[in-house]
Amino acid sequence: QTDAHKKKSRPRGGCAKSRAAAPLTAEEPAKQPGAPSSATEQKKRGRRASASTAAAASPKRSKATDVRLEPPANWRATWELIVELRADRTAVVDSMGTEAIAGESTKEERDFDALVSLMLSSQTKDTVNAATMKKLRAHGLSPRRLLDTPDERLDELIYACGFHNNKVKYLKATSRILLEQHGGRVPDTMDGLLALPGVGPKMALILLRVAFGKVEGISVDTHVHRICNQLGWAGPGGTKTPEQTRRAIEAWMPADIWAEVNLVLVGLGQEVQTEKSKLLRKCLACSDPAAALRLASVCGVKVEPEAKKAGLVLPPGLAL
């Protein structure tokens, strides 16, 4: 082959990345079993290469600037009504959440305490998490202490938490990283936190705010994800994951309320699920009962049956 011929042949492999981005069309031949097409194989290799490159280049936490949304109509009035309903701070998260159960100790100890609490909180009720943290503090809660604790004993201590087997591994690996790379301290950057096993964007954002006073985004859990979609705050088509919801609401929600969103909406979500009668009483006592009851209905409360069960009288002519 001449050099000129080689140059003509190269674009098929060399453009794999750009071809991988294009959708398959009806005109492209299907791969026949037992007789793979070289073009098809090149596309597959290109897709894998592109995916690998994207994964390597993309941090765990996508930027909110990836999404462009306009603020939903009347969102401010809805938000202020939710804030009013949550002003009493009587949801479970208010007394049992990570912010509420921080131990009395040094700054470094409190930071690690908060980190461990957040790592255990995934798929675990706040009440269970609070009880588990109490046991860990009695055992001794520091990176060195956890690393020196046998796996079996650590598993016994956190057994009530969801996915406790995995969390034992995460706690051990995280403790080792903190000791070897951070002098035993919890890192105060998003990248540093996301590099810890078992720590995702939701946990990292809460920890940055609670431990270091940094507000770099909105922490979205299942409650926030569900409520934002119910209210139409996650865009016209909605979102399927909490991370997609985070990106959507950060795209339009003013940054000056980001720090409040998680605690306010998580508490509302807990009351919707487990304290319906209390929520309805607060709706009836607030500045706009009809709007509050409609809000509760949108968030999943069957207002009329629940009010009847609780012996509450709804406003006449209420349209839900």
CA 149 from centre of chain: 29
**Active-site pick, 167, 172, 202, 276:** 202
Q: How many CB atoms lie within 10 A of CB 218?
A: 26
DSSP 8-state code for residue 32: B
Report the amino acid identity of residue 171: L
Backbone angles phi, psi at 281, to 5 degrees: -65, -40
Query: 196 to each of 182, 212, 245, how far by Cα in Å?
Result: 11, 17, 23
> Tokens at residue 37, please?
């097409």
8 A C-beta contact, residue 228 and residue 265? yes
158 phi, psi to nearest 5 deg:
-110, 15
Q: Which residues pair with 35 in a beta bridge?
A: 32
CB 221 within 8 A of CB 202: yes
Tokens 């000129």, residue? 4
Pseudo-torsion of CA 231, 233, 235, 237, nearest 10°?
Answer: -20
Q: Are 269 and 224 in contact (CB under 8 A)?
A: yes
- Measured CA to CA, the distance from residue 99 to residue 133 in angstroms comes to 12
Instruction: Specify the DSSP class assigned to residue 35.
Output: B
Residue the block writes with tokens 């969801």? 162
- What amino acid is encoded at 191 in this protein? D
Report the C-alpha dihedral over residues 170, 174, 176, 177, rounded to 10 degrees. 140
* Token pair recorded at residue 78: 């809805």
278 is catalytic: no
Known catalytic residues? 202
